[in-house]
Structure 1
Amino acid sequence: MPGLGSLFSYERKNLSYDMKAGLSVAAVALPVSIAYAELTGVGAIAGLYSTILPLIAYALFGSSRQLIIGPDTATCAVIAAVVTPLAFGDPVLRWQLVIIMTLMIGGWCILASRLHLGALADLLSRPILIGLLNGISFTIIIDQIGKASGFKFEASGFIERLIELPMMMITSAHVNTVLVSLATLVILIVIKKFKSRWPAPLIAVVIMTFCSWLINFESYDISIIGHITSEGLPLSSWNSFEIGLSRELVVPSINIAVICFVSMMITARSFAAKNNYDIDANVEFRALGIANIVAGLSQGFVVSGTSSRTAVNDANGGKTQLVSIIAAVIIGIVVIFLLSPLQFIPVCVLGIVLIYSSWSLIDLKSIFQLRNRNRDAFYLSLVTLLAVLIIGIIPGMGLAVLLGLLLFLRTVFRPSEQLLGVDGAGLIHTIKMDVNPIPNVMIYRFNSPLTYFNIAYFKRRVLTLIDESPTPIKWVIVDAVPSFTYPDVSVLSGVEELIRAFKVRDAVLVLAGRKGTLERWFSDMHIDLDKNHLELVSDLYLAVRMIQSKDQMDDGSGSSSSS
């Protein structure tokens, strides 16, 4: 428990900062958690359940001092997309499926931690995440426009709803609901503009909830949350649950676990770097798993690292994990003593809060900035965005991961390559205007580990470059450091075949780097090499000096014989 150690050695000078940050985090988390419960399709109380104990669990088991755990826009939207078709409109079954999926996600995270799979934080590349978050944000905005306008879409897909939206706004929008939504939006925008550090969602919800109670919004056909019970899901209702439905959640729960972890690690790492400390990816995986299991057992739903609430914590000077505990206690007090006023919250206000939160996540500029930096990353991010919008969140996410994997395999199968030369100072660089090749020598770098599926391409490229060279090539120096990373028998056999091709061309292969390792690998595989056409040296500079020495010796012996 890294957080427990931090609390035991707590410095009193941090208390005022942590108290202020804890109050601010609770102020933002309260309305947002209820809104995310609406997004997930479960009772409003589940949003608060998903916030209290997971905050405490992460404070004890997490390694980040700033990260705030809670319901997250992307994960809630993905969960809703998974469980809605399975629940068939049954709210109890929907809540049950959400709880089981949350427990599954927690289990996968703990298993990944035990297997030291913290490197999965790099599985979803940043271009995929940018496209995914943009796609999910647009999907949420369109979905919540219906709630903010007092109507329900007849269509289910994003494109269909986008086409349907103008007609629905004309024929089905509820004027009173729209007016309340616009008033809420104005409050959010004004606070953001003039008092950006104030908890705008909380203030907007409090004002509109008070108006709802005072004016009786229900009498004007404006939907409100209604009575909120703190009992949650009755235990007796589990008797009718079909355990076979859990099979449908296994694969989606793995996908969501990866998304939760990756998005959490991006937030945690950025704030850890800002505050000059390190975090452990495997510890974070375990902490995320425990937090989700706690959320599921307390009848909540999936939690992850939240960038907005973490930013609030950092902006208010939060120093330690005590911020999470303070925020959890405040939200717990609301659940115990102040639950009844929450029933007057208008549903359209929560819709506007979600639209407002989702709008802040839209970052199309980052996608188009990739166009000038990396075309593959740009297309990957753009395809992810379009896939989420056109075919849905779950299949779009799967397609994005598949495309990312295919791009990676393409990079490994057909990596970039470089021909190297020497500049005026004798330093080795990629050949360009002021870097020239060495006569009779080709220095080649293959920018990928050699494996059984790219060794044939490597051989073909080396021999093609020799045959197409405008000048005769006697020596070929291969930078072995990036290429020879593990003893693949296909690779070592391929080197043996390459040497035979060099023999026909009267050329010598020089492997520069990993000399001792390569000698051991060839010996262990019992591969006999033609020493007249293979040299193993320690690095590129030694290889160049060795070739220069041998050429000088050959020139000297030639001069002696002629004289």
Structure 2
Amino acid sequence: MQLNNVLPLQNWLKSYSKTSMTNDFIAGIIATIVMVPQGMAYALLAGVPAEYGLYCAILPTLLYALLGSSRSLSVGPAALISIMVASSIGALNPQTDAEYLHYAVNISFLAGLFLIAMRLFRLGSITNFISMPVVSGFTSASAIIITASQLKHIVGIPVASGLSFDETLWQLGTHIGEINYTTLFAGILSCFALWYFKGHFPKLVKKLALPTWLDQAISKAGPMFVVLIGAVLVGVFDLHETANIAIVGLIPDGLPSLQFVPVDIALWKSIALPSFLIALMCFVTSITVGTSLAGKRKERIDANQELLALGAANLGAAFSGTFALAASMSRSAVNHSAGAETTIASMVCALGVLLTLLFLTPLFYFLPLVVLGAIVIMSVSSLIEFHQIQRCWKLNKADAYSLLATFITVLVFGIEIGICVGIIGSVILIIHRASHPHIAIVGRVGKSEHFRNIERHDVHIDKHVLAIRVDESIYFSNVQCIENFVFEACYKRPETRHVVLIFSSVSFVDTTAVDALDNMIGKFKNLNVQLHLAEVKGPVMDQLQDSQFVSDLTPGKIYFTTDEALKSLTTL
């Protein structure tokens, strides 16, 4: 394997310029402004102290920057992965904070190993087996669970982390009389401020005609403004004492100490499944965001390379003593719109977070947890896609059912079971669709050489000739469905004397299909019907000639075109 393939950054640096460096530096600064408050918020979502969200954005981000194939992807703390971590650890019932963190580190370590193992087996195409409706149902339900988990910060009611959706709502409901109305007011005000900064504030900034880099930096600094304003107000008015508003408190300055993850087979057995699901969702969400952003640059990302980069990033998280991570949709979009040209922008972001840990942590002592809760809620609100249900219902009801099944299962039974059901549902849909190919009886369009579905077009058909087009390769899972369709069509048209199977869309037949086609010849003879083929592709013809089918077909023929077959047979 060439070094250029392992380190995509090396290829980008060949054409790197001062302009590129400037753009990357500006994008990195802007990404840092978003990363710091979001990282702390997602750390609390994962159930660990706020500083661990910043640890997530240093070594892991640097590792991804070296190995990643996406120029714009921002890898670090992510809401979806954080709630999966909290849910997985909650099921283990840790007794102390140290035990909780120990579980989190081991989950990120196993997730990294799973991703790298998937890379070794070149499983980058695994996302093809998880449909977008399933991902949409999963992310929508997860976003609702995330929102519910943060309501405790908004209303000031102490609720344990890692509870299920219904347990969280039950805890909030039973303690409804304990709402801290000052905290609630601060939460509503924070949500409104974040909404304003995201949707309306950038329009106001544009009117100032500032330089582009400064315009974008200020426009994206909404969460940081809210964080600093909240901290100042709490500190000046002592709201953490007078109004009992919970604060972050002391954040240790300095960098995380690197550590080795000790082998604990018993623990790894208990967290293997959730770790694999976290690794899978890390890859699915990251590759989805990365592909979307790469498409805007008319570029492609390497799925297998992403497995390696994300695996290394999660191992970096484990060695940094923090929790699992993935790409963030919101930060990646910011990184892209800020003009990031290479992953050096991510390196600048990692450096910015490092400087924050070294020098700026005292600023966050009075940071109210309600503000971090509001940041999480506003960040995940865009993931709730109820409109997808209506869209899928119009386009394909099976997709709508799979979306709803995943959505409901995640809410009722939890994230791990929900994603398993979604994946199994996707595989079942693939099998069902593969075993039920589209098949059409066709007729001639006027006097042309074109043939179309008789149910969709006004076409001419001969009562003695039945032309059937099979729009799928034929193999063991669908050959019975095709045979049933063909004979049912013959039974409905007793005057049929010739059946022409049009193979224009058939690229492959397996042994089971060849045997079934051979058996169909004898069944047709019993009905006094002759079987013919048309438009058989070369590879399929080779397979048929290597069997007894061609000789058994006689006096049936294999015609070069459907037009030739119909002209020949309608004159008989």
Provide TM-score, normalisation by structure 2.
0.89
Q: Which residue of 1 aligns with 2:563?
A: 544
Determine if the alignment matches structure 1 residue 41 to structure 2 residue 47.
Answer: yes
Q: Which residue of 2 aligns with 1:151?
A: 157
Deviation at 1:53, TM superposition (A): 1.9
Q: Secondary structure at the match of 1:116?
A: coil
Q: Which residue of 2 aligns with 1:426?
A: 449
Question: 1:168 aligned to 167, 175, 180, which one?
Answer: 175
Q: Which runs of 4+ in 1 moved over 6 A?
A: 231-239
Deviation at 1:189, TM superposition (A): 2.6
The residue identity in structure 2 corresponding to 1:114 is: L
Q: Which residue of 2 aligns with 1:59?
A: 65
Q: 1:415 to 1:236 in 2, by over 3 A?
A: closer
Q: Secondary structure at the match of 1:344?
A: coil
Deviation at 1:453, TM superposition (A): 3.3
Q: Which residue of 1 aligns with 2:482?
A: 458
Q: Which residue of 1 aligns with 2:228?
A: 206
Contact 1:450 1:485 in 2 (8 A): yes
Determine if the alignment matches structure 1 residue 99 to structure 2 residue 105.
Answer: yes
Deviation at 1:109, TM superposition (A): 1.5
Deviation at 1:82, TM superposition (A): 0.9
CA distance in 1, matches of 2:488, 2:377: 57
Question: 1:408 aligned to 397, 418, 430, which one?
Answer: 430
Determine if the alignment matches structure 1 residue 285 to structure 2 residue 332.
Answer: no
For 1:381-416, what per-residue CA distance to the aligned partner results, in whole angstroms no more than 9, with x for missing partners?
Answer: 122111111111111221122222222222222333
Q: 1:479 to 1:317 in 2, by over 3 A?
A: same
Question: 1:223 aligned to 236, 246, 250, which one?
Answer: 246
Q: 1:205 to 1:187 in 2, by over 3 A?
A: same
Determine if the alignment matches structure 1 residue 361 to structure 2 residue 380.
Answer: no
Q: Secondary structure at the match of 1:226?
A: coil
Question: 2:339 aligned to 317, 336, 343, which one?
Answer: 317
Q: Which residue of 2 aligns with 1:499?
A: 521
For 1:139-181, what per-residue CA distance to the aligned partner results, in whole angstroms no more than 9, with x for missing partners?
Answer: 1111111122111348943235446645533x11123322332
CA distance in 2, matches of 1:340, 1:422: 79
CA distance in 2, matches of 1:238, 1:98: 11
Q: 1:9 to 1:187 in 2, by over 3 A?
A: same
For 1:325-361, what per-residue CA distance to the aligned partner results, in whole angstroms no more than 9, with x for missing partners?
Answer: 1111111111122223333222222111111112222
Q: 1:236 to 1:122 in 2, by over 3 A?
A: closer
Counterparts of 1:160-559 in structure 2 under 5 Å? 160-162=167-169, 165-166=172-173, 168-169=175-176, 171-196=177-202, 197-220=219-242, 221-230=244-253, 243-424=265-446, 425-431=448-454, 432-469=456-493, 471-479=495-503, 481-482=505-506, 485-486=508-509, 488-522=510-544, 524=546, 529-538=551-560, 542-549=561-568, 551-552=570-571, 554=572
Q: Secondary structure at the match of 1:43?
A: coil
Contact 2:136 2:403 in 1 (8 A): yes
Deviation at 1:297, TM superposition (A): 1.4
The residue identity in structure 2 corresponding to 1:457 is: C
CA distance in 2, matches of 1:256, 1:506: 59
Contact 1:443 1:479 in 2 (8 A): no
Deviation at 1:270, TM superposition (A): 1.1
Aligned length: 546
Contact 2:142 2:415 in 1 (8 A): yes
CA distance in 1, matches of 2:314, 2:298: 28
Q: 1:185 to 1:517 in 2, by over 3 A?
A: closer
Contact 1:209 1:346 in 2 (8 A): yes
Q: Secondary structure at the match of 2:557?
A: strand
Contact 1:188 1:200 in 2 (8 A): yes
For 1:349-379, what per-residue CA distance to the aligned partner results, in whole angstroms no more than 9, with x for missing partners?
Answer: 2111111112222221122222111111112
CA distance in 1, matches of 2:483, 2:181: 71
The residue identity in structure 2 corresponding to 1:440 is: H
Determine if the alignment matches structure 1 residue 12 to structure 2 residue 18.
Answer: yes
For structure 2, the 5+ residue unaligned runs are 1-6, 203-218
Contact 2:470 2:505 in 1 (8 A): no
CA distance in 1, matches of 2:541, 2:192: 72
CA distance in 1, matches of 2:464, 2:535: 21
CA distance in 2, matches of 1:445, 1:58: 49
Q: Secondary structure at the match of 2:502?
A: strand
Contact 1:122 1:262 in 2 (8 A): no
Q: Which residue of 1 aligns with 2:215?
A: none
CA distance in 1, matches of 2:511, 2:380: 51
Deviation at 1:299, TM superposition (A): 1.7
Contact 1:515 1:536 in 2 (8 A): no
Deviation at 1:523, TM superposition (A): 5.0
Q: 1:470 to 1:505 in 2, by over 3 A?
A: closer
Deviation at 1:28, TM superposition (A): 0.7
For 1:471-499, what per-residue CA distance to the aligned partner results, in whole angstroms no more than 9, with x for missing partners?
Answer: 424132232633x525x322221111111
Q: 1:437 to 1:79 in 2, by over 3 A?
A: farther
Deviation at 1:439, TM superposition (A): 4.6
Q: 1:295 to 1:234 in 2, by over 3 A?
A: closer
Q: 1:530 to 1:181 in 2, by over 3 A?
A: same
CA distance in 2, matches of 1:416, 1:349: 54
Q: 1:346 to 1:257 in 2, by over 3 A?
A: same
For 1:429-462, what per-residue CA distance to the aligned partner results, in whole angstroms no more than 9, with x for missing partners?
Answer: 2223323334533232334433323322322221
Root-mean-square deviation (CA, aligned residues, Å) is 2.6
CA distance in 1, matches of 2:47, 2:265: 21
Determine if the alignment matches structure 1 residue 75 to structure 2 residue 81.
Answer: yes
Segment drifting more, 494-503 vs 205-214: 205-214
The residue identity in structure 1 corresponding to 2:501 is: I
Q: Secondary structure at the match of 1:338?
A: helix
CA distance in 1, matches of 2:250, 2:61: 25
For 1:172-207, what per-residue CA distance to the aligned partner results, in whole angstroms no more than 9, with x for missing partners?
Answer: 112332233233223213323431433221111111
Q: 1:137 to 1:480 in 2, by over 3 A?
A: same
Q: Secondary structure at the match of 2:247?
A: coil
Q: Secondary structure at the match of 1:85?
A: helix
The residue identity in structure 2 corresponding to 1:372 is: K
Q: 1:94 to 1:447 in 2, by over 3 A?
A: farther
CA distance in 2, matches of 1:137, 1:428: 49
Q: Secondary structure at the match of 1:339?
A: helix
Contact 2:33 2:220 in 1 (8 A): no
For structure 1, the 5+ residue unaligned runs are 555-563
Determine if the alignment matches structure 1 residue 27 to structure 2 residue 28.
Answer: no
CA distance in 2, matches of 1:544, 1:382: 46
Contact 1:420 1:443 in 2 (8 A): yes
CA distance in 2, matches of 1:89, 1:204: 34
